[in-house]
Structure 1
Amino acid sequence: MLLEIGLPTLIFIAAALYAAVGHAGASGYLAAMALFGLAPTEMKPAALTLNILVASIATVKYIRAGFFSWTLFWPLALLAIPAAFVGGRLQLPSHYYKPLIGIVLIYAAWRLLWKPQVSTETVRRGRQVYLIFAGACIGLMSGLTGVGGGIFLSPLLLFAGWATARESSGVAAPFILVNSLAALFGLMSTNITFPDAMPVWAVAAVAGGYLGADYGSKRLASPAILSLLACALIIAGIKMLLT
């Protein structure tokens, strides 16, 4: 009973919070599934599928809000898509996958608590070659782990001064979408297993993603809630590192 109610609830919360900043929530879904002891072979395809659903909603919302930048997006996506496909095809053994996911989840927790000081005015655009290289690296990591790459992309764009916070959200959502699609297509060429409860999780993710993306450009998620979610990511990350 706890699995049937608790996991969809955590997926809903993760989708809402991540969509509010232009992300799709894969690290949150992976953390929730790790806490409930799902097998790595089920975690990756499930996280990618939920990512695609939520990223689709966030992409539409942020494009309509005028935060999408094609000149920033295409160099990032150019090699990220094939790299994510290759990463999706690679099935890491459990003793490699779990520590890698643990590190990603702990990093994601820091990402939730990080408060960047970013100018809302002019930003300097990165050279296309740097954006293409960064996109390829993030795409490969996305495919390997089952995350969409937003937790890696947004800090890079903000640290480098290549985008404002709003632009970062507007580019992250479609970037996550294409990465997740490519990784899932790559994964489908191997033997994959979807959990039986996938339809229920999908409904929870769509509902949370819609609410988060709808209000993402108007309000910020509560710092207290973000702190709680970060704690959950840390606990799940430590669990993946130790098991």
Structure 2
Amino acid sequence: MILELLIPMLLCTLLVAVLYSCVGHGGASGYIAVLALFSVAPEVFKPTALTLNLLVAGIATFSFARAGHFSWRLFWPFAVTSIPFSFLGGYLTLPSHIYRPLVGMVLLLSASRLLLQKDQAPGHTTPPATATAMVIGAALGLLSGLTGVGGGIFLSPLLLLCRWGEPREVSAVAALFILVNSGAGLLGHLSGVQAIPTYAPLMAGTALLGGVIGSLLGSRHLRVPTIMRVLSLVLALAGFKLLLV
């Protein structure tokens, strides 16, 4: 890629990483949008997005957990089934003309619901039944691997709308959920003898910087209503990207 295109692409990557990591997300859907905007070959979308997700979600996991927001009880039922299904989804390559519009509409609906939702009373949450969480985790893991998205962008609004967790707790759980599913999806993808583009390390360094900035803001400095609005914006951007790109 020529320098004139690489520099603005890296700046866009930085912005995506900051915005998404504020709410504990890796930013895969945003990275895919950036790659599409700069006319990168579609076959490298999935491995590039998953690689950047690993870095940014790792930073977000550390920051939110260190601030005391992580809940193992909320996390593990979703993760235990999502990991193998994410590996399977990463291995498979399916046409996107059906699931992309459907997922886009779900994200836009979630964004609107979160934006209009009244403030949630502190402590007024109940974790889901283990069986329910495991079924949802399997579905989100498969979708995560198929699309090259870590899955947190689907898990976060679900946890909030169902009142299964507090906003910062949800961000912490989503960050680790994205981390483990991105790793499984990437392993599945690479086992299909597919490669990561040569400029991925440059994007990785940029995303890492953005992840540090955004996760510190989200875990310690941003108010809960601000986090909710940022998450709504992230979901809306991802939804429009899936519908229009």
TM-score higher than 0.5 here?
yes
Structure 1 pair 108–37 and aligned structure 2 pair: CA distance change class (3 A): farther
Question: Which residue matches 1:201?
Answer: 203
| Aligned mate of 1:36, from 35, 38, 44 | 38
Provide structure 2 residue ranges, at least 5 long, that are not aligned to the other structure: none
Q: 1:31: how far off?
A: 1.0
- Structure 2 distance, partners of 1:212, 1:34, is 23
Question: Which residue matches 1:124?
Answer: 126
- Structure 1 distance, partners of 2:123, 2:185, is 35
One-letter code aligned to 1:151: I
Question: Which residue matches 1:138?
Answer: 140
| Between 101-110 and 17-26, the greater mean CA deviation after superposition | 101-110
Structure 1 pair 35–233 and aligned structure 2 pair: CA distance change class (3 A): farther
**Structure 1 ranges of 4+ moved more than 6 A:** 221-224
- Structure 2 distance, partners of 1:18, 1:90, is 26
Structure 1 pair 108–206 and aligned structure 2 pair: CA distance change class (3 A): farther
1:131-184 CA-partner distances (Å, limit 9, x unpaired): 111111100000000001111101111111111111111100001000000101
Tell me, yes or no, if structure 1 residue 154 matches structure 2 residue 156.
Answer: yes
| Aligned mate of 2:60, from 58, 70, 94 | 58
TM-score by length of 2: 0.87
Question: Which residue matches 1:70?
Answer: 72
Structure 1 pair 190–168 and aligned structure 2 pair: CA distance change class (3 A): same
Q: 1:121: how far off?
A: 1.9
Question: Which residue matches 1:183?
Answer: 185
- Structure 2 distance, partners of 1:2, 1:235, is 26
2:167/2:227 contact within 8 Å kept:
no
| Aligned mate of 2:10, from 8, 11, 35 | 8
One-letter code aligned to 1:53: L
TM-score by length of 1: 0.87
RMSD: 2.5
Question: Which residue matches 1:100?
Answer: 99
Q: 1:3: how far off?
A: 2.2
| Aligned mate of 1:237, from 216, 219, 242 | 242
Structure 1 pair 40–166 and aligned structure 2 pair: CA distance change class (3 A): same
2:167/2:228 contact within 8 Å kept:
no
Provide structure 1 residue ranges, at least 5 long, that are not aligned to the other structure: none
Q: 1:195: how far off?
A: 2.0
- Structure 1 distance, partners of 2:121, 2:33, is 32
Q: 1:124: how far off?
A: 1.3
Describe the SS at the equivalent of 2:96: helix
1:180-199 CA-partner distances (Å, limit 9, x unpaired): 00101111111213222111
1:55-87 CA-partner distances (Å, limit 9, x unpaired): 000000011011100111111101000010010
- Structure 2 distance, partners of 1:46, 1:39, is 11
Q: 1:237: how far off?
A: 3.0
| Between 115-124 and 3-12, the greater mean CA deviation after superposition | 115-124
- Structure 1 distance, partners of 2:241, 2:164, is 32
Q: 1:35: how far off?
A: 1.5
Tell me, yes or no, if structure 1 residue 47 matches structure 2 residue 52.
Answer: no
Structure 1 pair 7–164 and aligned structure 2 pair: CA distance change class (3 A): same
1:17-45 CA-partner distances (Å, limit 9, x unpaired): 11001111111111111112222210000
Corresponding pairs, count = 236
One-letter code aligned to 2:96: Y
Structure 1 pair 37–235 and aligned structure 2 pair: CA distance change class (3 A): farther
